[in-house]
Amino acid sequence: MAPFEASLAFAQSLDQVDILFPFRERFLFPQHDGRDVNYFCGNSLGLQPKAVSFLMQNELEDWAKYGVEGHFNARYPWFSYHHFFNERLAAIVGADKDEVVAMNTLTVNLHLLMQSFYRPEGGRYKILMEAGAFPSDQYAMETQVRMHGFDPYDAIIEIAPREGQHTIDEQDIYDAITAAGDTLAVVMIGGVNYYTGQFFDLEKITAAAHEVGAYAGFDLAHAVGNIPLKLHDWNVDFACWCSYKYLNSGPGAVGGVYVHEKYGNNPSFFRLAGWWGNDEKTRFKMQKGFVPQKGAASWQMSNAPVFNMVALNASLDIYEKAGMPALREKSESLTGYLEFLLKKLDNLSFEIITPTNPKQRGCQVSMLFKENGREVFDRLTENGVIADWREPTVIRVAPVPLYNTYEDVYKLYEVMAGF
Ligand SMILES: *Cc1c(COP(=O)(O)O)cnc(C)c1O
């Protein structure tokens, strides 16, 4: 890659040769002063694919036209609705199609998976997670531990950044896993930290957990659709994610889970059951005795909330066409350009707390301001640059490769440079 330049013409020249540039056309942008905003919040709520309203209209028509028979006669029959997602989701997270399923929402799925993977026995009852995890994950782990009669302060091991650091030194995770040894039941870490954007080496963490006989599971809210994953090859035990961030599936969209086939295909491995997880051939026999179907789908409880999965369908089509390898390649370059520009800003006092090594981050960059953070954030908003504010003084921006351009990134720089 030729060296970057801090100019609009240079940014535009990169957009002109960007093979993913046309994908921008598939999304709807909020407006500011009669033009598309520069949207950097795809890590918080992705934009709406234009195809959603058409596909939603189809479902409403099919419901009107077929009533209950839509379960089999709809264009995407509702009986099998969750099946339409498997292959495309599996490609994004690096799994076999039977190892994933779209269902529920993230925190609900985290609890359901913990019911299977956190089953304290003897002295093995501890959970290891990152300090400062997303609050929902903290609350989930806290109450999981309590449900089994343990004290969260004893049973939850938190790994924090070292003194004076913002990101976690992975060696500290490995050392803590080894130290916890056979008291450790589960390692449950956010694959990409929501605050700093730090991406962890999921394969090595999984291997370290297995070394002491613990399970390894990950919350992939900020990793899915952002960084190529290989959950199966990395031997990850379980994972879950939401679909409204990088996956652009709308507020409260149906999330997803991954369960390694060695558990998914083992009918005696414990899971909380509902009729939708039962063997499809006998589902409607309404008999006693849960018979789990194959794979992650057996963790399903209820029939698919179709209207809340339409946007996911639209979004996964886009992902399939763009492909994770091309998205990642652009993402590294676009985020690299952002970092290059931010480092030129000598009028502002902030520190980039996201790792500088591209292998340890996705497309998010978090800036910790020493002063004027809120004012800079407000200035961006006034100029139609949509970033995200986190207490105490952090601005997060995520140039997502599906719809952000080099020009977007330059615009952000220009507003900050003019502060
Ligand atoms: C976004 C996010 C959540 C949100 O959970 P929901 O159940 O979807 O509301 C949870 N955990 C992490 C790490 C997140 O980034």
Q: Could you tell me if residue 51 is inside a domain?
A: no
Query: Does residue 88 belong to any structural domain of this protein?
Result: yes
Backbone angles phi and psi of 233, in degrees to 5:
-65, -30
Among 292, 319, 346, the domain-final residue is 319
Task: Assess whether 195 and 307 both reside in one domain.
Answer: yes
Query: Within a domain: residue 109?
Result: yes
Domain that holds residue 190: 57-319
Based on the domain organization, do 72 and 206 belong to the same domain? yes
Q: How many domains does the chain have?
A: 2
Atom of ligand 1 nearest to the CA of 194: 15
Measured at the CA of 46, the angle between CA 167 and CA 206, to 5 degrees, comes to: 40
Same domain (yes/no): 372, 407: yes
Q: What is the mean pLDDT of residues 378-396?
A: 96
In this prediction, residues 233-240 reach a mean pLDDT of 98
88-108: b (≥16 Cβ within 10 Å) or e: bbbbbbbbbbbbbbbbbbbbe
Task: Read off the pLDDT band of 286 (50, 70, 90).
Answer: confident
- pLDDT exceeding 70 applies to what percent of the chain? 100
Q: Which of 103, 104, 107 to mutate to test the pocket of ligand 1 (most atoms within 8 A of CB)?
A: 107
Together in a domain, 139 and 242: yes
What pLDDT was estimated at residue 238? 98
- Asked whether residue 306 falls in the same domain as residue 334, the answer is no
245 lies in the same domain as 392: no
Over range 260-278, report the average pLDDT. 97
pLDDT at 1 over 60: no
Q: Is 107 in the pocket of ligand 1 (CB under 6 A)?
A: yes
Judge if 204 and 243 occupy the same domain. Answer: yes
User: Are 246 and 281 in the same domain?
Assistant: yes
Atom of ligand 1 nearest to the CA of 109: 7
Query: What is the per-residue pLDDT across 104-119, written as a single tens digit (0 to 9) for each?
Result: 999 999 999 999 999 9
Here the CATH number for the domain that contains residue 20 is 3.90.1150.10
Asked if 184 and 71 sit in the same domain, the reply is yes
Q: What is the DSSP string of 27-89?
A: EE--EETTEE-EE-BTTTSPPEETHHHHHHHHHHHHHHHHGGGHHHHSSS-GGGTTHHHHHHH
- From ligand 1's centre to the CA of 92, what distance in Å? 18
- Which of 282, 299, 319 terminates a domain? The answer is 319
Residue 42 lies in a domain: no
Look at residue 168 and give its three-state secondary structure.
coil
Residue 328 belongs to some domain of the structure: yes
Q: Residue 86: which residues within 8 A CB-CB, separation 6 or more?
A: 97, 98, 100, 101
The verdict on the CB of residue 202 being under 6 Å from ligand 1 is: no
Q: Where are the beta strands (DSSP E) in 301-409?
A: 350-352, 365-369, 385-386, 388-390, 394-397
In angstroms, what is the span from residue 396 Cα to ligand 1's centroid?
A: 16
- For residue 48, what pLDDT is reported? 98
Average pLDDT of the chain to the nearest whole number: 97
367 assigned to some structural domain: yes
47 Cα to the center of ligand 1, angstroms? 17
What is each CA distance from 347 to 184, 344, 371, 406, in whole angstroms? 48, 9, 11, 22
| Mean pLDDT on 65-82 | 96
pLDDT given at position 285: 81
Atom of ligand 1 nearest to the CA of 134: 13
Is the pLDDT score of 32 beyond 90? yes
- Tell which of 273, 292, 319 closes a domain: 319
pLDDT per residue over 308-338, tens digit each?
A: 999 999 999 999 999 999 999 999 999 999 9
Asked if 210 and 187 count as a contact pair (C-beta separation under 8 A), the reply is no
Mean pLDDT in residue range 9-33: 98
Is 198 inside any structural domain?
yes
**pLDDT interval class at 42 (50, 70, 90):** very high
Same domain, 124 and 200: yes
Same domain, 141 and 66: yes
User: At residue 392, does pLDDT exceed 90?
Assistant: yes
Distance CA 386, CA 379 (A): 10
Q: Which residues are bridge partners to 221 per DSSP?
A: none
Q: Please, what's the b/e burial string for 19-33 (b: 16 or more CB within 10 A of its CB; e: otherwise)?
A: ebeebbebbeeeebe
| CATH number of 94's domain | 3.40.640.10
Q: Are residues 214 and 307 in the same domain?
A: yes
Assess if residue 96 is contained within a domain. yes
Q: How many CB atoms lie within 10 A of CB 282?
A: 12
